[in-house]
Amino acid sequence: MGKKGTKRKSHRLYAFVVLLLAAAILALGVLILFYVQEIEVDGNEYCTDQQIVDTVKNDKYSINTLYILAKYAVGKGESLPCLDSIKVSLKAPWALKVKVEEKPIVGYVENEDHYAYFDQEGMVVSESTALIEGLPCIEGISMKDIKLYGQLESEDSKIFQEILEVSQEVVKYELNVDRIVCKGDEIYLYIGKVYVNLGNKVSSSQVAQVPPILEKLGDQEGTLHLENYSESSGTITFDIGEIPQ
């Protein structure tokens, strides 16, 4: 082989080495530039930022923003049972923004030294020693094993389903209910000094009557009887001074 052939071979080897180095530098640059340094979380109220960050960075490759972005773009990203949605976007090459939508809480039960908050399906979405104001406490019905992300269960499943229905209606009509109490087979709403008897079969039309009646009652104390109310029978009475026993 002549000198020309040797030179060509040298040039090819040199070009290959240069390309290889360029590719290595580019790959290293991508790894360094897109290394996760910041994750901003938005939309959460009862889930902690750390819970969400740990969910997003749930495998050994989740140190790269592009990898995490791609993972969620193709629907392979993890979520939490308490979230309705989770969306990940690129804020900067090294920073991500995570937008979440939590499942709405409709009530809580006291569980030993903490509170178990549940959604409209009866799933425990959060446990905390801190009390969230403005949510009704469920009383008068025994619950089975209560655990985070587990379904609340009661021995009296029929009345418990009615209580879940009441919880949803309370949120729907923006009622400031202190407690939802089961007494025997009847469900009561405790709203300040007014006790609303809904009976054992709850309907949306029943709960819809409460807000306008409360406005008329003012500061009066007593029991509002809606247990016999229906769209076909508009029987409503208010017994002043009556307190549920």
- Chain segment 67-99, per-residue pLDDT in tens: 999 999 999 999 999 999 999 999 999 999 999
158/208 same-domain check? yes
State the DSSP string of 150-189: SBP-BSSHHHHHHHHHHHHHHHHTT---SEEEEETTEEEE
The confidence score (pLDDT) of residue 57 equals 94
Render pLDDT for 124-153 as a digit per residue (tens, 0 to 9).
999 999 999 889 999 998 888 899 999 999
Query: Average pLDDT of the chain?
Result: 87
Q: How many domains does the chain have?
A: 3
Q: What's CA 122's distance to the chain center, in Å? A: 12
User: Which of 84, 102, 120 is the last residue in one of the domains?
Assistant: 102
The confidence score (pLDDT) of residue 142 equals 87
98/200 same-domain check? no
Residues 6+ apart with CB under 8 A from 241: 221, 222
Give the C-alpha separation, 103 to 84, whole Å: 6
Give the confidence band of 24 by pLDDT, cuts at 50, 70, 90: low
234/123 same-domain check? yes
Give the C-alpha separation, 80 to 49, whole Å: 12
With respect to residue 245, please indicate whether it lies within any of the assigned structural domains. Answer: no
> φ and ψ at 124, to 5 degrees?
-75, 110
157/234 same-domain check? yes
Host domain of residue 24:
1-33
134/220 same-domain check? yes
> φ and ψ at 6, to 5 degrees?
-65, -40
Least trusted range by pLDDT, from 10-24, 48-62, 154-168, 198-212: 10-24
User: Which of 102, 123, 141 is the last residue in one of the domains?
Assistant: 102
Question: Global pTM?
Answer: 0.81
With respect to residue 220, please indicate whether it lies within any of the assigned structural domains. Answer: yes
111/162 same-domain check? yes
Q: By the 8 A CB rule, do 224 and 236 touch?
A: yes
Better-scored residue on pLDDT, 124 or 12? 124
Q: How far is CA 92 from CA 26, 40, 207, in A?
A: 18, 11, 49
51/132 same-domain check? no
